[in-house]
C-alpha cells in the first residue's frame, strides 16, 4: 500500500536524519592536515542545513526560535551533532502533528531580504527535502577534494534491500 503524503514526508525526514548522520561521520574521514578552507566550507554548509530547517520551522510556527543566520560561518564540527539533534527533535514534533489541513495551509512569510512570499506548506516540505540533497552533494564534492570519503547519502542507498539473484 502506498503511503499517504503525510507518511511520505515523515519517511523522507527519517531518511534525511540518517543521511545527515552519515555526512557528519564522513567529515571525520578528512585527514587533519587537509582540513582547510574546503573542509570549513563543508562545515558551514552543514550549519546551513540546520539553519534553513530552523528558519522554515520558525516561518511555519513562529514560536520556534529563528536562527541568527541562514548561512552561518565558522561552524565547528563539535557543534554540529547537537545542532542536528535539536533541530530534528523539533521537526519530528511538527511532522508528528501534521494534518491534511496543515499541508493545504498557505504559508505567508518574509525572507531575510525583506520580500514577502506565499506557498502551501506541502510545497515548503517538498523544498526542504530537495534542499538537503543539493547541499549534501556539495559537501560530498568538498570532502573528496579534501581527501575524505563522502557519505553514500542518496535515497536509494537507504531504501534498497540486497536480495538473491532471481533463478532463471
pLDDT, tens digit, 9 for 90 and up, residues 2-19: 899 999 999 999 999 999
Q: Quick check: is 142 in a domain? A: yes
pLDDT for position 112? 86
Q: Quick check: is 4 in a domain? A: no
Q: How many domains does the chain have?
A: 1
Q: Quick check: is 64 in a domain? A: yes
Q: Indicate if the pLDDT at residue 1 is higher than 90.
A: no
pLDDT for position 36? 96
Q: Indicate if the pLDDT at residue 38 is higher than 90.
A: yes
pLDDT for position 168? 81
Q: Quick check: is 1 in a domain? A: no
16 CB contacts (<8 Å, ≥6 apart)? 129, 132
| For residues 34-45, average pLDDT | 97
Render pLDDT for 24-36 as a digit per residue (tens, 0 to 9): 999 999 999 999 9
| For residues 66-70, average pLDDT | 94
Render pLDDT for 100-152 as a digit per residue (tens, 0 to 9): 999 999 999 999 899 999 999 999 999 998 899 999 999 999 999 999 999 99
Q: Quick check: is 46 in a domain? A: yes
Q: Quick check: is 163 in a domain? A: no
Q: Quick check: is 15 in a domain? A: no
Average of per-residue pLDDT values in the chain: 95
Domain of residue 124: give its range. 22-156
> Can you read off the three cell numbers belonging to residue 47?
550549519
Render pLDDT for 153-164 as a digit per residue (tens, 0 to 9): 988 889 889 899
The residue among 70, 67, 73 whose CA lies nearest residue 40 is 73
Residue 21 CA to residue 23 CA, distance in Å, equals: 5
Residue 46: give its domain's CATH number: 1.20.120.450
Amino acid at each position: 500500500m502506498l503511503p499517504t503524503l503525510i507518511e511520505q514526508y515523515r519517511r523522507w525526514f527519517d531518511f534525511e536524519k540518517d543521511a545527515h548522520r552519515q555526512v557528519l561521520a564522513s567529515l571525520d574521514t578528512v585527514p587533519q592536515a587537509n582540513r582547510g578552507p574546503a573542509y570549513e566550507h563543508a562545515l558551514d554548509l552543514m550549519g546551513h542545513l540546520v539553519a534553513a530547517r530552523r528558519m522554515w520551522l520558525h516561518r511555519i510556527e513562529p514560536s520556534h526560535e529563528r536562527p541568527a543566520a541562514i548561512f552561518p560561518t565558522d561552524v565547528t564540527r563539535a557543534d554540529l551533532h547537537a545542532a542536528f539533534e535539536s533541530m530534528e527533535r523539533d521537526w519530528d514534533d511538527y511532522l508528528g502533528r501534521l494534518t491534511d489541513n496543515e499541508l493545504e495551509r498557505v504559508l505567508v512569510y518574509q525572507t531575510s531580504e525583506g520580500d514577502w512570499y506565499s506557498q502551501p506548506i506541502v510545497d515548503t516540505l517538498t523544498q526542504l527535502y530537495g534542499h538537503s540533497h543539493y547541499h549534501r552533494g556539495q559537501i560530498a564534492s568538498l570532502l573528496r577534494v579534501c581527501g575524505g570519503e563522502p557519505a553514500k547519502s542518496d535515497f536509494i542507498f537507504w531504501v534498497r534491500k540486497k536480495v538473491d539473484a532471481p533463478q532463471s
